[in-house]
Structure 1
Amino acid sequence: MVLLGAVMWRGYRADAAEQGRQQGLAQAAVIAEMAVAPKLGGVDMAAGLTTSQLEGMREATELAVFHGSVLRLRVRGFTGQVVFSDDGSTSGGLPVADPDFQAATAGESRVKVIGGAGHEVIRVVQPLVAGATGQSIGVLELYLPYQGIAAQLRAQLRGFAERVAGGLAALYLVLALLAGWTTRSLRRYAIRQEYQASHDVLTGLPNRAAFRSRAESVLEVAGRDGGRGAVVLVDLNRFKEVNDTLGHHAGDELLRVVAARLRAGLDDSDLLARLGGDEFAVMLPGRDREQAVAVLAGIRQLVAEELVLDGVPLSMEASFGIALYPEHGTELQELKVRADAAMYQGKRGAEDIVVFAGGTVGHPHQWLKVQAELRHALERDELVLWYQPKVGLPGAEINGVEALVRWQHPERGLLPPGEFLPAAEHSGLIAPLTEWVLRRALDDQAGWIATGQDWTLSVNISARNLESTGFVGFVGALLAATGARPDRLILEVTETALAGDVETAMRAIKELGTLGVGISVDDFGTGYTSLSHLRGLPITEIKIDRAFVADVDRDPQSQAIVRSVIDLAHGLGSRVTAEGVETLEIHRWLVEAGCDEGQGWLYGRPVPWPQVAAKVIVEPSSAPLTERAAR
């Protein structure tokens, strides 16, 4: 602003000085035309002036000199001689060689302010024109006072300076106010941006990045001071149904309500963040296993409180996966992986608050690789099906086989289903994988039927398959395309699959039963399925989990459970298959208890279907056969 004022001052001063010069030039022109030129008509400058001419010149210029409007006046010839001066001298004046004098002899007027500060005068040198001819007869050298002009200039400059200073001060004030407002706006914007960069816009909770930063700081302090705590992942159950049914606006409102309820159940020292979608993360510093579970049990009750969205009353449930530090790890990523594994286990089981139970975790880093490779495996036909026989009791004749998928990995060899099925079920690959298994299994069934073996075919399906709207239609179309008998196909559903989206699963099972396809409840006894879920469903088979069969010949509690399941299944009109039969003692006990079928290494291990024995003999006891079955 000061520099701008200085530039404007300098420019205005130059303009004012130029105005003074122009004023001096005009004054000199008036003196020349009105006072000097009329007295010199027809004068020969080289010869000088007569006495009367000199007297006339003095009379013409005396008044101007007397009043001080002219300081010095000289009339000179082209060669420089002084023809007339107001003080009567015939010498002095501007040198002939001076450019201004030379310009005047050539017919050009020159004006200049000369002298030091406070003693400036205006010097005008211009051609002197006399007579009507307009011919230049000499040079007029005129010195005019500058003080009046300087005083006027100073007054103008002072007024200008005051206006400029006032204007610049006002401008500075405006700019200062604008800058202050802009600075505050930018500061508020920066604060908003920083907040939005670290918080979820919908719920106002810290986001994934903020949770990571704060949680890592807490873990660092805990590692240094020997602290403990828990990292929890929370996922809402059936949130997608709310979005699909009521719309995304209702889903957004639900997330806001759930976020507020989660926050209400935590202390100020606890961390809560929304990771994305319907997934939240919680960090509970200083809590042990029991304390963490107790806190989450309270939160579960808050989340489950009824709310109304678009006039529809809802009661939401959530799954909680817990990883403890330092017990389960000291790095945040490691704890999140294990909490995620626990949460996933809870989603597929009956418990919705699950603490990581230890062991290796192949999710999510290894699963990402497995999922990518499995997708290529389906394209390159690297999967194979093996079959394990199911025998009728008591005779142990093979009346069915269960299809078990294997992966002939190009680098790792033959992989059992536990190496890749969890990764497939946790992604969209479970659908094409199940479709591949059904196609290949029905093709194989046609092969053994052609050899005279009328075995039923059991195929495992996932809860994701039951939740898929097109799965039942696919099964019906595949049966029609292959010509397979629906009653010779049994689809095995794990008991935990019935604990998920119950309504969708029951609807799919009923539609499959309408097609004539058999339904088997696998791993019964491990998922605590409500018996109301089984009532009214076309269940053709209940398979008792191997955990109860392994010691049924000697453990009274296992015996009581197995007998109860057999009675329950028969009461529902279903047959019973015991899994994991490995000894003759267990076989005999199951026969005595009235079990319908058995499956296990005693009767045969999984093999390609052409290698399935036509008949398995286990009675009377035969050491070679028993040893062969064990192998």
Structure 2
Amino acid sequence: MWLRRARPRVRSTSRLFATFAAASLVPVVTLGALVVQDYRRDAAEQGRAQGLAQADVIAQMVVAPALNSGEPHTLGGDLSRRGLTAEQYDRMRESTGLAVYRGSVQHLRLRGFTGRVIFADDGSTSNGVPASDPDFQAAVQGHPRAKVITGRTQTIRVVQPLFAGATGQSVGVLEVYLPYQPIADRLDHQVTQTVRRIGGGLAVLYLVLALLAWWTTRSLRRYAADQRHSALHDALTGLPNRLAFRTWADDVLERARRDGAPGAVVLVDLNRFKEVNDTLGHHAGDELLREVSERFRAGLGPHDILSRLGGDEFALMLPGRTGPETVALLEEVRDRLAAEMVLDGVPLSIEASFGIALYPEHGVSLQELKQHADVAMYQGKRGTADIVVYSGDGISHSQQWLVVQAELRHALERDELVLHYQPKVGLPDGEVTALEALVRWQHPERGLLPPGDFLPAAEHSGLIVPLTEWVLRRALTDRLGWTAAGQSWAVSVNVSVRNLEVAGFPDLVAELLAGTGTPADRLVLEVTETALAGDVDTVERVLARVAALGVGLSVDDFGAGFTSLSHLRGQPVAEIKIDRKFVADVAHDPQSRAIVRSVIELAHALGSRATAEGVETAEVYRWLIEAGCDEAQGYLIGRPVPWPQVDPAMFAVPGAVSEEVSATMIEGLPR
């Protein structure tokens, strides 16, 4: 398929080379024509120069001696007035006749300054250059002129001043017609030789340019092909990557929609791949992926598409296969994968989970099919079957959670999660004491998702553990940023009870604190009440170990969940956060006021801070100060934003409210 797509690019490259070759030929030919034209112009100029030189020789060696043979008084002045003596005329006929006979001169005339013909080799007294001709006038002024005249024969006409006698003064004008053909033949020969040399040189130059263009075009084509291959293939295994799979799969699905052909999209995830990386090293993991890719290829047909999406996840596009055919093929592939291999001397048997979505039965778009295949694959990981076909039913609440969990696993791999921070301020001064880290999901299709859209699904799976680790690591790293900016705020991170059931959680916290250089008292862990601890003893031991590090512990949403007073007894709780639904009603609900006052008193009795959540009005803010609450948090103070946008100056409203609360509380506040 992709070879067919590449042909237009090859043809386009060939057209590019042909265009370049043609375009480069134009300046080469133009350059050659200009050079030849210039050379011909120079050759003509040389011809005229030779004509002038030859005419000058004739004037000095033929004409001047003939004129100088007379009496001295006949040697000066304008020839138009005095003419020639008989002796001079005879000498001129004798000299010019010999020159004409030998062919070195075609015609020769001796003329006065007025244009009168004094002597002509053919005895004529007319024709010749008109006296008004610029060339004749230039000769009268003492400047010789030469001109090539074309006709039946090519002739050089030279008009030059004639000097005679001892005075060296001009006495007339010599008009000579010389044969140009021998000169032209000689110049043409020279031009021909030069043209051949120049043409040969330009041909070699053009050939070199053409070869360079061909080589460059071919190199660019290879480079473009390499870049295209790199952009569409995984560097480790050589398989098509996620982008190529999406493009290919869209083409296959488009044809299937036209033809009504069946097929399947399969997602594959290797089991316990992380153990290979952690135990044998990443080089062994890379070798494992290469070997798995080869075994996949060996088990697939020529029209099947195999792609590595990332990590240990692969995708298959199986056009034309029904559900049973797909399962049968994957069983063969599974058996190939399960064949024992040896990595670093350790024998391994690879297992994988396969999730199958059929088209058009389970969807017609790649996104929908991948989503259903991911659900089926995740069901396989949680169950006993390693090859699972999507059930095809509508996605129920639990199934929707499976979809979210599957997407969230990819979000962690692709770093799609972001942290926003909401400030907590001390009462009554309104100074920021800490920032609470609140995770958001920058979903590639649904935009920025709040935690309520994915945290419940994460807490009901093992994903909450790597998700919490990511949040802790990112929050402590961000804290380094605002510490460097001169703020000593602590950071609060929500922790699920499921995290506290993991025995290694305190070690993880200690490692992250040491890795980021964060003082333990600058970290507060807020334990959410979305689930009860299954093993109370384990949770208590983990909390005690975390508190021993110096980390503050906070009970989040107190009063709204399942926390009982027995869970607080004996726990090193540094903060109790009052649920927002009680705080929001203190301005007009006596029962909410009573509950909030009781929680504040309980927190103080336990040696903990009392923090009110969901503070959205100045009236509630004042009441909390009067009630003795230690800290407040809510939209009145600041909405969750990335930490660089947390500006203490934006808390002017709470600060102004705090100034209104004097030692004697404002009368009339609800109590």
Q: TM-score, normalised by structure 1?
A: 0.60
Per-residue CA distance 1:374-423 (angstroms, 9 max, x = gap)? 96677468xxxxxxxxxxxxxxxxxxxxxxx9x9xxx9999996356369
Segment drifting more, 265-274 vs 80-89: 80-89
Q: 1:52 aligns with which of 87, 101, 124?
A: 87
Q: 1:77 aligns with which of 109, 112, 122?
A: 112
Contact 2:409 2:463 survives alignment (8 Å): no
Q: 1:23 aligns with which of 38, 50, 54?
A: 50
Q: Number of aligned residue pairs: give it.
A: 458
Q: Where in structure 2 are there 5+ consecutive unaligned residues? A: 1-24, 69-74, 425-437, 441-448, 475-494, 525-531, 547-559, 570-671
Quote how far apart the aligned CAs of 1:428 are.
5.3
SS at match of 1:37: helix
Query: What is the match of residue 534 of structure 1?
Result: none
Q: 2:468 aligns with which of 409, 426, 430?
A: 430
SS at match of 1:87: coil
Query: What is the match of residue 98 of structure 1?
Result: 133
Query: What is the match of residue 625 of structure 2?
Result: none
- Two-structure CA RMSD over aligned residues (Å): 5.0
Change (3 A) 1:305 1:433: same
Segment drifting more, 283-292 vs 122-131: 283-292
Give the Cα–Cα distance (whole angstroms) in 2 for the partners of residues 470 and 49 of structure 1. Answer: 129
Tell me, yes or no, if structure 1 residue 421 matches structure 2 residue 462: no
SS at match of 2:110: strand
Counterparts of residues 77-156 of structure 1 (less than 5 Å): 77-116=112-151, 118-156=152-190
SS at match of 2:171: strand
Query: What is the match of residue 496 of structure 1?
Result: none
Quote how far apart the aligned CAs of 1:25 are.
1.2
Letter in 1 for 2:37: R
Give the Cα–Cα distance (whole angstroms) in 2 for the partners of residues 417 and 132 of structure 1. Answer: 123
Per-residue CA distance 1:205-227 (angstroms, 9 max, x = gap)? 22223322322233334344444
Per-residue CA distance 1:489-538 (angstroms, 9 max, x = gap)? x9658xxxxxxxxxxxxxxx99x799889xxxxxxxxxxxxxxxxxxxxx
Q: 1:283 aligns with which of 314, 317, 324?
A: 317
Quote how far apart the aligned CAs of 1:136 are.
2.8
Contact 1:230 1:284 survives alignment (8 Å): yes
Q: 1:461 aligns with which of 481, 499, 502?
A: 499
Give the Cα–Cα distance (whole angstroms) in 2 for the partners of residues 250 and 460 of structure 1. Answer: 32
Segment drifting more, 260-269 vs 228-237: 228-237
Query: What is the match of residue 76 of structure 2?
Result: 43
Letter in 1 for 2:46: Q
Change (3 A) 1:346 1:131: farther
Give the Cα–Cα distance (whole angstroms) in 1 for the partners of residues 499 and 239 of structure 2. Answer: 39
Give the Cα–Cα distance (whole angstroms) in 2 for the partners of residues 99 and 27 of structure 1. Answer: 21
SS at match of 2:498: strand
Give the Cα–Cα distance (whole angstroms) in 2 for the partners of residues 370 and 186 of structure 1. Answer: 37
Give the Cα–Cα distance (whole angstroms) in 2 for the partners of residues 80 and 278 of structure 1. Answer: 107
Q: Where in structure 1 are there 5+ consecutive unaligned residues? A: 382-404, 437-456, 483-489, 494-508, 518-604, 615-631
Query: What is the match of residue 536 of structure 1?
Result: none
Query: What is the match of residue 297 of structure 1?
Result: 331
Per-residue CA distance 1:471-498 (angstroms, 9 max, x = gap)? 476899989x99xxxxxxx9658xxxxx
Counterparts of residues 134-283 of structure 1 (less than 5 Å): 134-164=168-198, 166-167=200-201, 184-240=218-274, 242=276, 249-283=283-317
Contact 1:21 1:112 survives alignment (8 Å): yes
Give the Cα–Cα distance (whole angstroms) in 1 for the partners of residues 132 and 501 of structure 2. Answer: 113
Tell me, yes or no, if structure 1 residue 14 matches structure 2 residue 41: yes
SS at match of 1:126: strand
Per-residue CA distance 1:523-562 (angstroms, 9 max, x = gap)? xxxxxxxxxxxxxxxxxxxxxxxxxxxxxxxxxxxxxxxx
Give the Cα–Cα distance (whole angstroms) in 2 for the partners of residues 236 and 87 of structure 1. Answer: 114
Change (3 A) 1:373 1:24: closer
Quote how far apart the aligned CAs of 1:199 are.
3.1
Quote how far apart the aligned CAs of 1:24 are.
0.9
Counterparts of residues 198-597 of structure 1 (less than 5 Å): 198-240=232-274, 242=276, 249-310=283-344, 313-347=347-381, 351-357=385-391, 358=393, 359-360=395-396, 361=400, 363=403, 379=422, 418=456, 421=459, 425=463, 429-431=467-469, 459-461=497-499, 470-471=508-509, 492=534
Query: What is the match of residue 62 of structure 1?
Result: 97
Change (3 A) 1:412 1:161: closer
Quote how far apart the aligned CAs of 1:60 are.
3.3
Contact 1:104 1:125 survives alignment (8 Å): yes
Give the Cα–Cα distance (whole angstroms) in 2 for the partners of residues 189 and 243 of structure 1. Answer: 34
Per-residue CA distance 1:51-89 (angstroms, 9 max, x = gap)? 122223333333212211011112222222223322333
Give the Cα–Cα distance (whole angstroms) in 2 for the partners of residues 310 and 416 of structure 1. Answer: 40
Change (3 A) 1:221 1:429: same
Query: What is the match of residue 609 of structure 1?
Result: 564
Give the Cα–Cα distance (whole angstroms) in 2 for the partners of residues 138 and 43 of structure 1. Answer: 10
Give the Cα–Cα distance (whole angstroms) in 2 for the partners of residues 462 and 288 of structure 1. Answer: 46
Letter in 1 for 2:234: D
Change (3 A) 1:373 1:84: closer
Contact 2:135 2:159 survives alignment (8 Å): yes
Give the Cα–Cα distance (whole angstroms) in 2 for the partners of residues 301 and 126 of structure 1. Answer: 109
Contact 1:16 1:153 survives alignment (8 Å): yes
Segment drifting more, 205-214 vs 1-10: 1-10
Contact 1:458 1:492 survives alignment (8 Å): no
Query: What is the match of residue 433 of structure 2?
Result: none
Change (3 A) 1:160 1:86: same
Change (3 A) 1:325 1:90: closer
